[in-house]
Structure 1
Amino acid sequence: MPEEYKKVFVTVGTTRFDLLCDTIMTSPVLKALKKIGCKEITLQIGNSAFEVGEYEKEGVKVNAYRFKDSIQENIKGASLVISHAGAGSCLETLEANKPLLVVVNEDLMDNHQLELAEQLQVDGHLYYCTCDTLENTLEEVDFSLLAPFPKPDATLFVKYLDDIFRVKQHVE
């Protein structure tokens, strides 16, 4: 039996991503989320025009808020995270070892976010889509196939510094 994703956390970070907020609340997307076990969505809406509050639609409870000092608690409490493609949100989720679906904001296609999402998907750490393909992606991907994000290795930084100072000493 596939894993159920009862609690879904959706974040747009500090930006305005009205399309993602609105898309999450459409019947087809809510039905796709329900199919994978979703019963509850926490929706961090940032500066989006979406209204803060508690909703229920298609049998899914939704709690929308703008900002908190930290979203770490929301990430840890979620069984699935759906996020904008901001590096901070992606890395925080991956470091918490949570399945991640990144929704790329196509209005920002000239920035680094698409490249980051593409590379992390190629590396097997997340899936990404657009608002247009969100429903289909939720129905087709298997989050259990995602590879855990590697833990940071502080020894690499120390080795890097050692190498730099070793080279500098040989030059002098």
Structure 2
Amino acid sequence: MKTGPHSRVALVTGGATVVFRELVDETLMPKFLTALQDHGFSTLLLQCGVYHDQVLAKLASREPDNLTIEVFDFDPDLKGRMRICRGEANLQPAGVVISHAGTGTIADCAEVQVAQIIVANPNLMDNHQHEFAQSMARDHASLVHGRLGSLHEAIPEALAVIKSLGLDSLEPYQEPVFPLRDEDRLTLIDQVIAHGV
């Protein structure tokens, strides 16, 4: 994988068991791949679960270019792959994680301080993720609401987020230390009082 001072990494997580095929397929489209390259990305990491073999077959006919694509089906340490997209001062510019609008993935990206493009999966329970994705992107500066059919347009938006939040020049990542000290703990009672719930 190409990484270094001038290369950005995009991680697409399409799911390991229930695959968001439309998302994976769109990230293989020439328009999307060109947008990545035009905006300084050198590597695309693509998690596609049980769709793995079909994706490899699609990539077999791909014209060579300056974008490295690594396809994998499952990684028990997906958060570790997200950290590859994390920018660090004088080491690597920030990349982006592209995923469905799921709370677990959003939380993991927030923890490692990575910009994220969230895409509603229209196949899940009456497209319930659409409104959630809109709301989350509106309320959280590190999130961009991407849309199927025009996902390439979210790449410059993600770069604007990276710039505005200074994600290219973060300090090295450190895993949280557990258990937390008593004075650093936030209890349910504290949350209820703080939010007046």
Confirm or deny a common fold (TM above 0.5).
Answer: yes
Task: Give runs of aligned pairs for residues 1-150 of structure 1, distance below 5 A.
Answer: 6-14=8-16, 15-48=18-51, 50-52=54-56, 58-78=65-85, 79-108=95-124, 110-123=126-139, 124-140=141-157, 142-144=160-162, 145=164
Higher alpha-carbon Rg = 1
Provide Cα deviations, 1:65-118, integer angstroms capped at 9, x if missing partner: 111112011100112111111211111111111011112222236254223322
Q: Could you say what secondary structure the match of 2:98 adopts?
A: strand
**How does the TM-score come out when normalised to structure 2?**
0.67
In 1: Cα distance, 2:166 partner to 2:187 partner:
21
Contiguous gaps of at least 5 residues in structure 1: 164-172
Asked if 2 retains the 8 angstrom alpha-carbon contact of 1:87 and 1:113, the reply is no
Superposed displacement of residue 35, structure 1? 1.4
Asked if 2 retains the 8 angstrom alpha-carbon contact of 1:82 and 1:102, the reply is yes
In 1: Cα distance, 2:146 partner to 2:56 partner:
25
Q: Which moved more, 1:63-72 or 1:104-113?
A: 104-113
Contiguous gaps of at least 5 residues in structure 2: 86-94, 168-183
Change over 3 Å in CA distance of 1:84–1:160 after alignment to 2: closer
Question: Deviation above 6 Å: which 4+ runs of structure 1?
Answer: 53-56
Give % identity. 24
Change over 3 Å in CA distance of 1:87–1:61 after alignment to 2: same
Q: Could you say what secondary structure the match of 2:109 adopts?
A: helix
Aligned residues: 157
RMSD: 3.0
